Amino acid sequence: MLKGLPDKELDGRLKFIWYVCACGVDSAFSYALYSKYVDIYELYEAEDYDMHDLKIPDDVLRKLYDKRLEDAFELFKKCVAMDIKFYSIEDKLYPQKLKKIKDPPLLLFFKGNFPDFDKTLCAGMVGTRNMSDYGKKTAEYLAGGIASCGVIVISGLAKGIDGTCQRAALNNGGFTVGVIGNSIDSIYPKENAALFNKVYKYGVVISEYWPGCATYKTSFPRRNRIIAGLSDFVVVVEAPDKSGALITASLAKRQGKLVCVPPMPLTKENAGTASLVRGGARMIMSVSDILEEYEVLLPHTIPPDLPLPSLLAAEKTEVGETKLQTRAEKEHAYNYLLDYLDEHGPVTLTQAAMDNARFSLKELMRVATELELDGYAVRLPGGLYDAVLGDKVPAARINENQT
């Protein structure tokens, strides 16, 4: 035994290390081959491997037929010396959530405090590395509020939105999980070293890549399946087109999970966020917009809502944004949205803003609230709005001389 680990359990873990190291980094077949056997013991004892429909390279087969476990034991001792632990897919503490995804990791290496993912509500929070000031404030607001309610915040410990969400979670007394796309014993990016150390202490860092394992650019997109798999819902805070955050959102959607986005300025930096809304993601205006349906699962009460950072400065004009200064201009926006909902609804406000460059998304959000209060529009699940049923309501009267 080593550090109290039973011989049989140690033997099983060594065989898993032997197997994943033999298959190599980001193997396309390791889980598929493993799933053909009852357990890792049967796979290890096999004298020939069922390679039906699997393209296993010859060098990998040579390693699989070499049953020596000395190298695996050396790696195990290295993990112990570095205070790095790991669970195999056969361990009781391996998250059941991950077993349900396509190609689950066979080993999860971690440093920190491994939570019970299956009994705790988890939020994946992702976004661009090149965040705007607005994106930063929105990430801090949402992640801080979500974490303060006892929800685990899961992200990738990357620059930009990911790291900002995880800092906000810690600063609000919450728990955060960093899922990295590099070896568990390395810190990337280096400028996030202080954040890594905080997460080691107050959360947990997870990787499927063992100490000393060389990783590649493809490893970072692969880790997104783990973020999506551990999460009960995913929030994409800010993302351009072709952002890695969209991969996480797509995986979450395939897994049948809720994908949320806050309102964002209609810029190329947010083209990806806008595409998610068009694809059915839920537009959220506050923390409770996300958590109200999970309230019975929360250890803490949802705090009273504050408006998103964008709305805190509603009366301040941003660069390139049209300000509704006059009553006439407000009524033009009111009539436009009323007519648009009547003709196209149910629809998102993002789409309404994209179809008329005169009015910004922020302006239409305020107008939508007025229409709701007046009884002329209704807000639906998924961030959709529609005109009220029945006869068309009268439009607001415009007097161009009024201000």
Q: What is the CATH number of the domain that holds 382?
A: 1.10.10.10
Does 96 fall in a domain?
no
Query: Which CATH number covers residue 268?
Result: 3.40.50.450
Q: How do residues 124-158 score in pLDDT, each as one tens digit? A: 999 999 998 889 999 999 999 999 999 999 999 99
Per DSSP, what are the bridge partners of residue 379? 385
Tell me, yes or no, whether 125 and 260 share the same domain: yes
pTM (2 d.p.): 0.76
Strand 377-380 with 384-387, pairing: antiparallel
pLDDT at 84: 97
> Residue 398 above 60 pLDDT?
no
Q: What would the pLDDT profile of 99-117 be if each residue is shown by its tens digit? A: 999 999 999 999 999 999 9
For residue 183, give the nearest of 122, 111, 249 by alpha carbon: 111
Domain that holds residue 20: 1-81
List, for residues 337-373, the tens digit of each pLDDT value: 887 887 788 888 888 888 877 788 888 888 888 877 7
How far apart are alpha carbons 47 and 64 in whole angstroms?
10
Report yes or no on 90 lying in a domain.
no
* pLDDT at site 308: 73
pLDDT score for 385: 87
Look-up: residue for tokens 């969209």? 246
CA 247 to mean position of chain CA atoms: 9
CA distances for 392 relative to 236, 395, 399, angstroms: 36, 9, 21
Instruction: Choose one of 266, 285, 310: the last residue of a domain.
Output: 310
Note the pLDDT of residue 228. Answer: 97
Mean pLDDT over the full length of the chain: 85
Residues 302 and 325 in one domain: no
143 shares a domain with 204:
yes
72 and 215 part of one domain:
no
Q: Is 109 within a domain?
A: no
Say whether both 266 and 194 belong to one domain.
Answer: yes
Same domain, yes or no, for 306 and 320?
no
For range 27-34, the mean pLDDT? 92
Q: Is position 49 within any domain?
A: yes
Domain total for the chain? 3
Asked if residue 266 and residue 181 are part of one domain, the reply reads yes
On whether residue 340 sits in a domain, the answer given is yes
Residue at a domain's end among 310, 344, 363: 310
pLDDT band at 330 (very low <50, low <70, confident <90, very high): low
Same domain, 298 and 369: no
pLDDT of res. 5: 54
Q: Assign 3-class secondary structure to the chain.
A: CECCECHHHHHHHHHHHHHHHHHCCCCCCHHHHHCCCCCHHHHHHCCCCCCCCCCCCHHHHHHHHCCCCHHHHHHHHHHHHCCCEEEECCCCCCCHHHHCCCCCCCEEEEEECCCCHHHCCEEEEECCCCCCHHHHHHHHHHHHHHHHCCCEEEECCCCCHHHHHHHHHHHCCCCEEEECCCCCCCCCCHHHHHHHHHHHHHCEEEECCCCCCCCCCCHHHHHHHHHHHHCCEEEECCCCCCCHHHHHHHHHHHCCCEEEECCCCCCHHHHHHHHHHHCCCEECCCHHHHHHHHHHHCCCCCCCCCCCHHHHCCCCCCCCCCCCCCHHHHHHHHHHHHHHHHHHCCEEHHHHHHCCCCCCHHHHHHHHHHHHHHCCEEEECCCEEEECCCCCCCCCCCCCCCC
Q: What is the pLDDT of residue 6?
A: 55
Asked if residue 245 has pLDDT above 50, the reply is yes
One domain, residues 212 and 198 = yes
Residues 344 and 371 in one domain: yes
